[in-house]
Amino acid sequence: MTELTAVDRFWRTMARSVDRRVLRLVANQRALRVLFEMSARMGSALPRGATVIRDRTDSLTITPQGVAKNAPILFYIHGGGFTIGSPRTHAALAGHLAATAGMRVYLPRYRLAPEHPFPAARQDVIARHAALCETAPPVAICGDSAGGCLALHLAQHIRDTGLPAPRALGLIAPIADLSDDPATRFASAVDEMLIPPEWATRILDAYLPGIDPADPAVSPLLGDLTGLPPTLIQAGAEEALASDAARLAEAMDDATVDLWPGLPHVWHLHAGRGTAANRALAQMAAFLSEKAG
């Protein structure tokens, strides 16, 4: 990886000095959703000329300029700790990934905790994928953070039910094991730039009230990860979730870990405005094109 640009360093500083503080101090997840929507619009940009269509479920389909309307579909699941985020917050990220891969991308809307704890998000993602399979089965499945966790659940479900299998998975700093103490885990990651222990604890309390986090239906790393498609996993080298990436690679048949030093959790969100984000997405797109093309 080349040296970070001044713009990349700016976004890294924002993650450390502003975003991390907001996640620590704002306990209301509804308020965080509004702030995240605002910051995502300011910190990213859709590919020029992309067409965005919203369906009745508030899910988005993005067709980049120059990509055919019947091009293969990438199924992208947004992150946000199961409590914040939406297809809109991740539209630029997914749009740039799809544009470089020469695909269309579908971002499913799913219900968020605490209003809708586990298994609502998992159920919604599986249902959206099943509906899409009736017309255009996705050739690849991707997701970041909590969305990476849901992508793994979906891939396991597809394998076990015989639905049309994707040819590749792309995961960005996926949450794969929720069974450990989140406060201890994130506090011990001294170079974690974005996620404070306080928010990690709130996420677990909101998403899994009274539910065993060691259940493989919750933590995909504790279930069967064999028989899944070739997978590329990207993460920040210093972030707390880098350990999940390494453990996933050991448990899966064909997985590659790509660690990026000096970058915060899901820096890809600055697609269209950050060089490191664009470069990482280009590498992910090349992998998806090779495996799914």
Note whether residue 267 is domain-resident.
yes
Query: Is residue 119 reached through a cis peptide bond, with omega within 30 degrees of 0 on the bond before it?
Result: yes
Catalytic residue among 90, 129, 265, 270: 265
268 is catalytic: no
- 10 Å Cβ neighbour count for 115? 11
pLDDT tens-digit readout, 169-185: 999 999 999 999 888 99
* Residue 265: strand, helix, or coil: coil
Domain of residue 28 covers 6-292
What is the Cα–Cα distance from 197 to 204, expressed in whole angstroms? 11
Catalytic residue among 44, 59, 86, 145: 145
Question: Residue 174 in contact with residue 244, Cβ under 8 Å?
Answer: yes
Percent of the chain at pLDDT > 90 equals 96
pLDDT at residue 2, as a whole number: 57
Catalytic residue among 192, 239, 268, 270: 239
192 is catalytic: no
Q: pTM for this structure?
A: 0.97
Beta pairing, strands 231-236 & 73-77: unpaired
Tally of domains in the chain: 1
Q: How confident is the model at residue 24 (pLDDT cuts 50, 70, 90)?
A: very high
User: Which letter, b or e, does each residue of 1-25 get, where b requires 16 or more Cβ atoms within 10 Å of its Cβ?
Assistant: eeebeeebeebbebbeeebbeebee
Note whether residue 274 is domain-resident.
yes
Phi, psi of 15 (to 5 degrees): -60, -45
Cα separation values, 261 from 237, 239, 275, 278, Å = 5, 9, 14, 15
Percent of the chain at pLDDT > 70 equals 99
* Residue 138: strand, helix, or coil: coil
pLDDT at residue 33, as a whole number: 98
Single-letter residue type at 233 = I
pLDDT exceeds 60 at position 1:
no
39 is catalytic: no
pLDDT exceeds 60 at position 127:
yes
Note whether residue 1 is domain-resident.
no
- CATH number of the domain enclosing 95: 3.40.50.1820
Note whether residue 20 is domain-resident.
yes
